[in-house]
Structure 1
Amino acid sequence: MFQQLFTSLYEALLGLPEPALLTQAFENSIFPGVGLATLFGIALIGALFFYLVLNRVLTTPFYQTKHWLVMLLVLAIAAGALGWFQARSVVYEALDAKGIVIPAGSESAYSRYVLGFTFVNALFGALFFVVWSFVVKGLSPNAKVTPVRWPN
């Protein structure tokens, strides 16, 4: 289920992986793994950290919208970095296992695709953090209206 969901989301924004010999590695390993890690590992844990740890347990004054935006930026960068490193490592590991080298003409297409994947995953990380923020913000007594007062 998640494999199809994340594959369709990433391919809708990026197109099919370049070069074509990497399609299976992206669809089977990278898209679902990075998508799940971004959704639950980065965005959910980031939202729980912001609302529960920073604004409930520690009772720090990090409840303003500017603090939430900094957290959004940090998590987007973390999601982008996760996408970059995971795509590079899985692809090179898969190619080494098969004894294949990316053809010289396809190296730039691969680099562009991985860079696009990095930016799309950063966007998804930010989007997932926004969604999780609305889900868990009621758990914090200090940041119930961060980033916006809605739906309270």
Structure 2
Amino acid sequence: MTAAVRTRPAVPPVLDLDARLALTGAAMAARLDEAAVAFEVNTAYLPGADPIPHITEAPLPAPAVTPSPYRTPVADLLHRARLRIETAGWCRDAVRDEAGAVCPIQAIRLESRGDRDAAHDACVALLDAIQDQFPAADTIPSWNAQQRTVAPVLAAFDRATRHAHTHNK
């Protein structure tokens, strides 16, 4: 009589994240080595071929720092917020979009660097400048959403900045 031996199927070991990352890293290193060899074989007949081309990118120029022409705090803040909208872009229907563009209030908040009083004063000055030209405007966001281009927004910032500067705000 023969005895039947039952064997369990082999259960793969459970690997933790570090072990899986190490195995994946080793597999990727092997694939990269294989690709480097294939590249060298494929370009061996080219005279002066660099085995791994060196690609350099020109560094991005640093933004020009220009001093603000305004010495009063609210006018300076409005000027910086206007520059932020010019450089980052203008957003009409949200506080910020995926590309980094901002609405007028967000530009003021970012440029106020956490000074809530200064941000509030700048928003009040901007709303006053908007309501001088558009008396039906209730809030900055509602007025901003009605604009089709950035030009009226920048013009409102200019008017608010000049008013704050001339009234020592």
TM-score between both structures, scaled by the size of structure 1? 0.27
Relative to its length, the structure with more helix (as a share) is 1
TM-score between both structures, scaled by the size of structure 2? 0.25
Q: Please tell me whether Structure 1 or Structure 2 has the larger radius of gyration of its CA atoms.
A: 2
